[in-house]
Amino acid sequence: MAISFLQELLISTLVLSVPLYFYFKSSTRSSKNNTVLPTNWPIVGILPSLIANIHNLHGYVAHVLAASGQSFRAHGPAGTGMRFFVTCDPANVRHIFTTNQANFPKGAEFAEIFDVMRGSFFTVDGEPVRRQRAKIQTVLGGPRLLARMAASCRDKVEKALLPLFTDMARMGTPFDLQDVVARFVFDVTATPVFGVDPGLLSRIGMPMPPVDAAVAMDTVMEVALFRHTVPASCWKAMRWLRVGPERKLAAAHAVLRGFITEMMEKRIKKSREEDVQKGAAPAVDIVSSYINDPEYCEENGGGLLRATLINYMIAGRDTIGTTLPWVFYNLAKSPHAVSIIRDELSPIASRKATGADTMMIFEPEETKPLVYLTAALYESLRLYPPGPIERKTVVAGDVLPSGHEVRAGDTVFISLHAMGRMEGVWGKDCLEYNPGRWLPETGEEDGVGKAKRLRYVPSHKFLAFNSGPRMCLGKDIALMQLKTVVAAVVWNFDVEVVEGQSVEPKLSCILQIKNGLVVKLKKRQM
């Protein structure tokens, strides 16, 4: 009976949606210079608006927020109880993330949406998240682990990424930079987590290992966006029936769990080999801090440990792997910014004795104080945040600084992608890539690159690393990895984006480029 009712509900919704879809599409075409605000239609709610703009969902939401004063309401089909409040107003963000953050948890449905990580620090609220964050601070604050992570990134750049790029530049062959970066970042993330390098990135002429686990992580984020936008009863029924996106997600979950098992087995084997060596140093990896913790090993048969390790992998991989292609895309369109970054790197490079054919490597401690390089990264994160949306649940009714009321049970979506495109937040040039906006005026007057510090921008205005009590604990690590890669590539190569391709975000909870980023490299002559 339940299945029959669901089928009738879906069919009825689709039948009602079709004429409204074409009406809405017609209205959009006739108003090319005017943003059409989403209509909360009877019975079907905002569904026709989503259908008409699903191909450009993040961009559409940004246009609607700009036209509606940075906040708007919406509701789903009748009977679903889906009530949404969408905002990118920094004052609202500060209230939601800091001032009254206890009233805006992620909520139980968020944990269900990301069920492969259920129970880990990404999905929990209250005391569990405070306890787990304290553990993460201890783990990521260890000097030996930090040194291992920096060395892992630096060595992978020198021994894998730059040699591969040198081959590609010599051949002059266009290639998908996003795919290469994804492999690189997967290795760089997994190595300090498990103490084992998966080896997904290889040189030309060597077989590239399969990327099943990376593809599975992409699937988790793509299907998560689907779960965010349809009634929970709908996707749960699909999960039970193993149909549609849920069938694909179930397969992805199996791949991720298999990957964790495989990496743990490799780690155990490596540890045994090291044990037979006299004086072998103890393992320096993230899993060592969890594997003997009763909370992670015994609860749910080790399920929390698996969820936590998947969480670490997704958090590390998605932040860097999603950001780097957009950084190179922006820099390829901004030769002035590239020139300033090279000027900033030049004094460091001059102290290094290298041959004409030797690739220049910049150590993490050398790039840490570089202000303009940091500004260039922040500017890309402003326009293309790796996580374009945040979701919160309302516990008790509240009035936001914008004057909007929210009710208990409402779902709040915060669009980071839209916030970076608001003229009221960033000025009339909000759509332009301009690292100078992050520097003091005196630095801009002196040619930008001479600035000694960044301009202060509060986290509720620049939300790429979250805000309030849930501020990203891996921010400094992420910036270290980004700088290590960007400095080496920008100094050694010219990056050209191949013309004619459509560069737009994928429909996902992470802001990957939909069809990859095809580029050509040219080795710099110095």
Known binding residues are: 472
CA angle 139, 116, 406 (to 5 degrees): 90
Residue with tokens 């290298």: 354
User: d(Cα 394, Cα 103) in Å, to the nearest integer?
Assistant: 6
Burial label, 294 (beta-carbon count in 10 A; 0-12, 13-18, 19+): exposed
Q: What is the CA radius of gyration of the chain?
A: 24
Q: Output the CA torsion sign for 88, 89, 95, 98.
A: positive
Half-sphere exposure at residue 224, Cβ-oriented, CA atoms within 13 angstroms = 28
For the record, the structure tokens of 459 come out as: 């986290």
What is the per-residue burial (b if ≥16 Cβ within 10 Å, else e) of 121-145? bbbbbeeebeebbebbeebbeeeeb
| Strands (DSSP E) found in 325-454 | 389-393, 398-399, 405-406, 411-415
Token digits for 165? 């790029």
Read off the DSSP letter of residue 56. G
Residue 93, classed as helix, strand or coil, is: helix
Count of all residues that appear for the chain in the document: 526
> CA–CA separation, 446 vs 362, rounded Å?
25
Both tokens of 161, joined, read 């990424």
The answer for residues whose C-beta is within 8 angstroms of residue 316's C-beta and 6 or more apart is 185, 188, 189, 193, 474, 478
303 within 8 A of 119, measured Cβ to Cβ = yes
C-alpha 174/C-alpha 165 separation (Å) is 11
Strands 493-497 and 518-523: antiparallel
Q: Which residue numbers belong to the known binding site for heme?
A: 472
Strands 83-87 and 411-415 turn out to be parallel
* DSSP one-letter code for 290: T
Q: Are 467 and 459 in contact (CB under 8 A)?
A: yes
